Amino acid sequence: MSHTVVIPTIGRPSLRVTLEALLTALEDGAGPAPHEIIVVDDRPAPGAPLPLPPSAGPEIRVLRSGGRGPAAARNTGWRAATTEWVAFLDDDVVPEPKWPARLAADLAGLPPEAGGSQGRVTVPPPDGRAPTDWERNTAALADAEWITADMAYRRGVLAELGGFDERFRRAYREDADLALRAMDAGHGLVLGERRLTHPVRPAGFWASVRAQAGNADDVLMWRVHGPDWRRRAGEGPGLLRRHAATTAAGLLALAALPAAPRGRGGAAVALTGAGAWAGLTGRFAYERIRPGPRTPGEVVRMLVTSAAIPPAAVWHRLRGLAVHRGARAWGGPRAVLFDRDDTLIRDVPYNGDPARVEPMPGARRALDRLRRHGVRIGVVSNQSGIAKGHITAGDVRRVNARVEELLGRIDVWEFCPHDGGDGCACRKPRPGLIERAAERLGVAPSDCAVIGDIGGDIEAAAAAGARGILVPTGRTRRAEVARARETAPTLDAAVDLVLGGRRRR
């Protein structure tokens, strides 16, 4: 079975040697080599070169995903793959020497209805002592289901499901979400025989408090998969209710404290709240301290963080309820392709000067909204000035780079350099630009929405089988507005249509 290995990374200094060791192990391991290894650099901005093995050949390719989180990084990787299977690995794992051979065997033995295969993960315990709270949490990966520390999917399944949900911006829940969607769609997931080791990363004093940000992701899981998502994902019940009670007791004590000197029951309420808070916090701390090494440093860390975790968990839960209040299943248009001139930036005929780029009103806000919802963004633009000799392809790219400086990262750019009489397949209203952009994004044209300001944009969308939304400007003809199935007065309103999943004029 042909397969590609995808490894997202943010180039953490503590993992520089580990990433190089991982890549070396994949190259030197026994068995069929992967068709390609794609390392996805998810740092927000380019940094020092990633540590590739000295002998790295063309089979290792590095892509950038712009710091949008591991879900988006994995999507960048698999969309660039061309093989039947895509295997995802974390950047800090150590595969066994026979991992390539056992991966090939795992995949070759799968029936057509199997859409994914998980490897077996081992977390080594510490030598000569009980594990710390952080080490115990990491050790739970050994029993977790469908985690992308080592998880392979058929590329066709990833394309069908739209890949990982990019609303998960941290390494938490995005793997369980994809697995549940795959099983809901009828694709079987199986446990393979390949093995790797997942070391415990160093953790700072407040690591367990920062981890409470996952409570916001739990809200998205609940919105998308229903109240029983934990059971279906093999998760325990969690401690949020107890954290909420602890936080409420602490707030009650603080609220009643000013009234305590005046009597009227204020002191009793404050004492009751403080007692409840102390009892719940003490119980939580004891449960975390008891199985651990109980060194002075670990005990202090558990006492302090056990007081901080409950309000942090509640805060992130409330944040998740606000952010994901209207969340739907990962679907709808997976990509939005914009015309450039008079849609994203003001039209300057045959512009080759980046200094003359001026965004259209609301353009940055519209694009940022799509990014927050995990929607991919592309630009498809006719640039006949190249054929006419007014500008060069390099001029177009420099202007496009300036657009990204002002409006943020664009996932894919496609432009047509031909003139109207050249008979090409890419010049709008022909569908070529849209088809090429969709292919590069790893989605079908029918999964794209196209937003533009003239009839040619909408006709190109229809020819490609995409959804077209017209945002009229001063140069849009009345007949074009009349023919458009969907129009919006502004870019922001057009994004409302995309995110709302409705089709209206």
Domains and CATH numbers, the chain: 3-202 (3.90.550.10), 204-328 (no CATH), 335-500 (3.40.50.1000)
> What local confidence, expressed as pLDDT, does residue 28 receive?
86
Distance CA 369, CA 495 (A): 8
Q: Is the pLDDT of residue 258 over 50?
A: yes
Cα 96 from Cα 226, distance rounded (Å): 38
Mean pLDDT value of segment 250-256? 92
The number of beta carbons lying within 10 Å of the beta carbon of residue 216 is: 24
The continuous run of DSSP H or E covering 63 comes out as: strand 60-64
| Tens-digit pLDDT profile for residues 453-491 | 999 999 998 888 788 899 999 999 999 998 887 889 999
State yes or no: pLDDT of 13 exceeds 80. no
Position 111 scores a pLDDT of 93
- Residue 330: what pLDDT? 72
Question: Given this model, what pLDDT does residue 485 score?
Answer: 76
- Write out pLDDT tens, residues 321-368: 998 887 777 765 679 999 999 999 999 999 999 999 999 999 999 999
Q: What is the pLDDT of residue 278?
A: 96
How far apart CA 152 and CA 118 sit, in angstroms, is: 6
Mean pLDDT of the chain: 89
In sign, the C-alpha dihedral spanning 449, 453, 456, 458 is: positive
DSSP assignment letter at 421: G
**Please, which pLDDT band fits residue 84 given cuts at 50, 70 and 90?**
very high
> Does the pLDDT of residue 421 top 50, yes or no?
yes
Give pLDDT, residue 501.
Answer: 41
Helices (H), 290-353: 296-323
In 185-295, alpha helices (H): 207-210, 214-225, 229-232, 240-256, 266-289
Calculate helix-pair angle for 266-289, 240-256, nearest 10 degrees.
Answer: 150
* Percent of the chain predicted with pLDDT > 70: 95
User: Which has the minimum average pLDDT: 13-17, 105-109, 427-431?
Assistant: 13-17
pLDDT over threshold 70, residue 240: yes
Asked whether the beta carbons of 187 and 157 are under 8 A apart, the reply is yes
The arithmetic mean of pLDDT across residues 397-407, rounded, is: 96
Catalytically active residues, by annotation: 339, 341
Taking alpha carbons only, the member of 120, 124, 148 closest to residue 138 is 124
Q: Which residue has the higher pLDDT, 448 or 17?
A: 448
pLDDT score for 43: 87
Quickly state the pLDDT bin for 58 (edges 50, 70, 90).
low
Backbone dihedral region of 339: left (phi > 0), alpha (psi from -120 to 50 degrees) or beta? beta
241 versus 17: the higher-pLDDT residue is: 241
272 pLDDT higher than 80 = yes
- Answer yes or no: pTM beyond 0.85: no
Q: Does the pLDDT at position 318 exceed 60?
A: yes
Quick check: 504 pLDDT over 50?
no
Quick one: average pLDDT of 383-404? 95
Distance of CA 26 to the CA centre of its chain: 25
| Separation between Cα atoms, residue 472 and residue 475, nearest integer Å | 8
